[in-house]
Amino acid sequence: MEKLLSLKVYIITITGAVCWGLIGLFIAPLYARGFTAWDVVAIRGVFTFVILFLLMAVFYRDQLRTRLRDHIFFASAGIFSIALFNFFYFEVFSQSSLSLAVTLLYTGPLFVTILSRLFFKEPLTIRKGWALALAVTGCAFVVGLLPFGQQGIPMKTLLMGILSGFCYALYSIFSKPITKRYSALTITTYTFLYTSIFMLLTSDVLRKTNQFHHTDVWISAVLLALVATVGGFVFYTSGLKHLEASKASILATIEPIIAVLTGVLFLGEHLQGWQVLGIALVMYSAILVSGERSKAKKGY
């Protein structure tokens, strides 16, 4: 029974990463309508918050009650993680390549492992280290950074890429302390409340309301919120509730694999041999990390 429960937790966590990996299908139509990357982050945040708030107001109203002091965690996750990692990620993509952006973003698990050791005293085991190394290497193969390498990377671009991974990691760090007090829906809803506020203040999306006259904009925005955001964060946060933050983040490295497969199946892209090798490495890293029994204490 315990093994079945553990398997369910791993599947839930990976499902969240799969939802994130489908994001490209919903972003492309928004770019085609003239929205910038920063605008898309704002659309994602606002639509996600509205959908989650309505859902909770109707079905889970009691879960909307929170402690005021916990809003520092919600706000920190919403601004310093969700909003900023998107900013750095899209900036690297615009200045360099998607391969570089995705690979640097997935330095996130490394930061989660280090920060989890510092703040949560999670054990830094050899098995976890191997899983992390395989996951990062596999991602590099999948996005094409290996085996050919990347030359002439400006220091500014490299720094922003590393910051995208750091901010990505902060979601696990800010969310973990409150997972015992609130449901995944509550955490995700209030996180995106603060993301929405921040993005509405810093983006130009309110000046582009005429673009919402197009039906495809609404369809893309709703699917971006429901599938690639609500689904992703709720599933991932549900898994994080029962897993060490470092394990959950390593399992989430399946996201770029899904992104590549989506491109192959739906966008006419081609899968190279080294990408297949990368997929195998990331999948094996997930097997490694899921095979290690959690050593976290009760009440962790």
Q: Could you report the per-residue pLDDT of 232-261, keeping only the tens digit for each?
A: 888 887 888 788 777 777 787 788 788 778
pLDDT above 90 for 262:
no
Least confident window among 54-68, 73-87, 242-256: 242-256
Between CA 64 and CA 52 the distance in angstroms is: 11
pLDDT at 300 over 60: no
Q: Is 37 exposed, middle or buried (0-12, 13-18, 19+ CB in 10 A)?
A: middle
- Element of type H or E holding 290: helix 273-291
In this prediction, residue 291 carries a pLDDT of 60
Q: Shortest CA distance to 229 belongs to which of 43, 71, 38?
A: 43
For residues 175 and 73, the answer to whether their CB atoms sit within 8 Å is yes
What average pLDDT score do residues 31-36 get? 89
Write the single-letter amino acid at 8: K
Q: How confident is the model at residue 176 (pLDDT cuts 50, 70, 90)?
A: confident
Residues 134-138 have a mean pLDDT of: 84
293 pLDDT exceeds 50?
A: no
CA distance 138 to 249: 15
With b meaning 16 or more CB within 10 Å and e meaning fewer, what string describes 49-76? bebbbeebeeeeeeeeebeeebeebbbb
DSSP 89-121: HHHHHHHS-HHHHHHHHTTHHHHHHHHHHHHH-
Share of the chain above pLDDT 70, in %: 89
| pLDDT of res. 279 | 80
Q: What is the DSSP letter of 182?
A: S
pLDDT band with cut points at 50, 70 and 90 for residue 273: confident
Residue 137, Cβ density class (10 Å: 0-12 exposed, 13-18 middle, ≥19 buried):
middle
CA distances from 92 to 51, 145, 183, 184 (A): 30, 14, 33, 30
pLDDT at 213 > cutoff 80: yes
Task: Classify the phi-psi angles of 297: left when phi > 0, otherwise alpha if psi is within -120 to 50, otherwise beta.
Answer: beta
Residue 298 is predicted with a pLDDT of 38
Indicate whether 297 pLDDT > 70. Answer: no
Tokens of 76: 């920190």
Q: Specify the pTM.
A: 0.76
